[in-house]
Structure 1
C-alpha cells in the first residue's frame, strides 16, 4: 500500500515520529519497518524521525505486505450497496434493515462482504448496526486507517444520530439515559439494564413529535453497547415499535434508523456529514 497525504493547515506542528506514533497510531513493529526501509518521505525526501512536519508538506507512506498482511473475505453483491460517501480511506453506506453488518462465520455473507465487492477490496468494520436497524454505517477501506477511526469512535468524535418510533408519550423534551447494560441471563439474544455488573451506556433522547399512541424521538449515542437504544427506551417504558425482542407491539420492521453520521476526517480534517433515508422506516411512520 502506498499513500500520499497532504498535511492540512490545521494540523498541529509535530515531528515525523509524533505523527506516525501518536496521530496515525501505527504499531511499533510497522514503524520500525518504515524507518529501516526508509519508506517515509516528506516532500519526496527521506526524513529524520525527529524532523518537523509542517502544514502543506506532502507525506508519503509505503507499506509492504508483511506490514499489513492481505485479508481476504468472500465478496458479496455490489448492487446491494447504497453509497453515502467514499474516499481513498473510508466509505459510508446506507444499511438496509434485515441485513447483518458482518457475518458470524467466515463464509457468511453480510453487508461487509457487499461493501467489499462494491469497493473492489476487503473493507473493515468500524462500528456495527443491529441486523434489524437501517441507516448510515462507516467502514474502513484499509488496515492503516482502521485504528485511527476506532480511536475517533472511542473518543466520541464520530457523531451518530438515530430516529426511533417508540411507545407512549414523554413528559420532557430531552432526557439522558445512563443505565448500565449487561447480558440477559435467560436469553443470550437479549441485553438488560444491569446497574451493578453492566457496562456504562449513555443515550441522549430528544422528543420530536407525537404520532398517535407513539412518539418519534432522536437518539444520540455516547457509547455503543449492543441494543443500547432498544434496551434504554424499553427500560423507561418506551419500547421501540416492531422490536422483536423488547416490545409486544408488532410492525413490519424495527422502527429504528441511523439517519445521520458525522465526523472530521482524521487525515484531511474535512468535515463529513451524511444523512440516510429509509423508505420502509418512513412508511412505518405513516401507518
Structure 2
C-alpha cells in the first residue's frame, strides 16, 4: 500500500474530486480515481466521500493506492481475428461461443486470455479479470469489439460510449414479420425482479435504453434486421426486440423455445466506429456475417 497526501488549491475549488485529483497527477485517469473512491481509498478531511463530491479550497486528501494485483488470468495463444491494432487500441472480431472476460469458475478460453497472449499492454482500469475491456458482447453474439491498450485510450473510449458517439450496428434475425421498415425503441431497461439473471423493460431501477432498427429482408415468420445502439445496456437488443413482440431467433433467455436451429441468439455486431483516442481520427470497421448466420438466411429464403 502507498499513501499519497494532496491539498486542494483555490483554483480547483468547485471541481469534482475525480477531475481535481487527476489534474494534480495526470498519470491518474478520472476513471481510475472514481474506482478508488468507490473502494473507499480516497479520504477527504478524514471522511470517505461520494464520486460526485465537489472539492473546496484547502481540502486535505489522502489516497491509498493498493499494490499492483498479480494477474491470475493465464495468457492463451489463440487465432484471434484482429481488424486493427496500434499502440493505443485494438479491434477484434469475436466468434460466437467465446466469452469476453473471465469470471469465477470460468478463467480460461475467454477473449481476455487470448488478448493477454497477443499483446502485453492492456489498460488496467477494469481490474485484473477485464484488462483492456471497454465494452462487451454476449457469449453467443459474434462481432467487433474495441480494446484499450492503455488507460488514456480506455478513458477516451468509455467517454465516447457515455456521449453516445460510438457507432454500433448489429445484424439480427427475429421471430415474426415486422410490417414497418424502420423504428426506434425507447424503453428503459433494468434487472428483472423475478429473475435476477435477466433484464427487462421497467421503470424501477432502470437506465435509459434506445435502439434503432431497419428491416433488411422479410421471410415467412422471420425478419432480418439491422439494429443500431444509441445506448449500451446489458442484453439491450435482445430485451428491446422481445418487448415489441419480435424476439431474436435462437435466444435461449428471451425467445420462444420453437425457433431456428442455432446455438444461441442470431445476433452479429457487424459495424463498429469510434474516434481514435490519440489522433482524433474517426475509424469504422465492418465484419461480415459468420457462415452459420449466412446459412440461416439462405434457409429462410428457400422456405419463403
TM bin (shorter chain): 0.7 to 0.9
Match for residue 36 of structure 1? none
Closer/same/farther in 2, CA of residues 252 and 230 from structure 1, 3 Å limit: same
Q: Distance in 2 between matches of 1:25 and 1:129?
A: 33
Alignment of 1:147 with 2:155, yes or no, is yes
Q: After superposition, what is the alpha-carbon deviation per residue over 1:1-43, rounded to whole angstroms, capped at 9, x for unaligned?
A: xxxxxxxxxxxxxxxxxxxxxxx9992353289xxxxxxxxxx
Q: After superposition, what is the alpha-carbon deviation per residue over 1:218-263, rounded to whole angstroms, capped at 9, x for unaligned?
A: 1111111111000000111100000001112243231000001011
Q: After superposition, what is the alpha-carbon deviation per residue over 1:164-223, rounded to whole angstroms, capped at 9, x for unaligned?
A: 100111221111001111111222221111134421100001111113321011111111
Alignment of 1:27 with 2:37, yes or no, is no
- TM superposition shift of 1:105: 2.8
Q: Distance in 2 between matches of 1:136 and 1:224?
A: 14
8 Å contact from structure 1 (residues 89, 145) kept in 2:
yes
8 Å contact from structure 2 (residues 189, 199) kept in 1:
yes
- Give 5+ residue unaligned stretches, structure 2: 1-18, 29-64, 123-130, 300-304
How many pairs were matched up?
A: 233
Q: Distance in 2 between matches of 1:25 and 1:269?
A: 24
Output aligned runs, 1:241-252, within 5 Å. 241-248=249-256, 249-252=259-262
8 Å contact from structure 2 (residues 191, 205) kept in 1:
no
- Which segment drifts farther, 223-232 or 274-283? 274-283
Closer/same/farther in 2, CA of residues 31 and 280 from structure 1, 3 Å limit: same
- TM superposition shift of 1:77: 2.9
8 Å contact from structure 2 (residues 152, 277) kept in 1:
no
Q: Distance in 2 between matches of 1:73 and 1:143?
A: 20
- TM superposition shift of 1:140: 0.4
Closer/same/farther in 2, CA of residues 233 and 271 from structure 1, 3 Å limit: same
Secondary structure, in 3 states, of the residue corresponding to 2:78? helix
Closer/same/farther in 2, CA of residues 283 and 73 from structure 1, 3 Å limit: farther
Closer/same/farther in 2, CA of residues 275 and 75 from structure 1, 3 Å limit: farther
Match for residue 99 of structure 2? 100
TM-score (norm 1): 0.74
Secondary structure, in 3 states, of the residue corresponding to 2:207? coil
Closer/same/farther in 2, CA of residues 265 and 208 from structure 1, 3 Å limit: same
Q: Distance in 2 between matches of 1:26 and 1:279?
A: 49
Alignment of 1:131 with 2:139, yes or no, is yes
Match for residue 202 of structure 1? 210
RMSD after superposition: 2.6
Closer/same/farther in 2, CA of residues 250 and 157 from structure 1, 3 Å limit: same
Match for residue 266 of structure 1? 277
Match for residue 175 of structure 1? 183
Match for residue 115 of structure 2? 115
Q: Distance in 1 between matches of 2:132 and 2:105?
A: 14
* Relative contact order higher in (CA < 8 Å, ≥ 6 apart): 1
- Give 5+ residue unaligned stretches, structure 1: 1-23, 34-65
Alignment of 1:187 with 2:186, yes or no, is no
Secondary structure, in 3 states, of the residue corresponding to 1:282? helix
Alignment of 1:279 with 2:291, yes or no, is yes
Secondary structure, in 3 states, of the residue corresponding to 2:26? helix
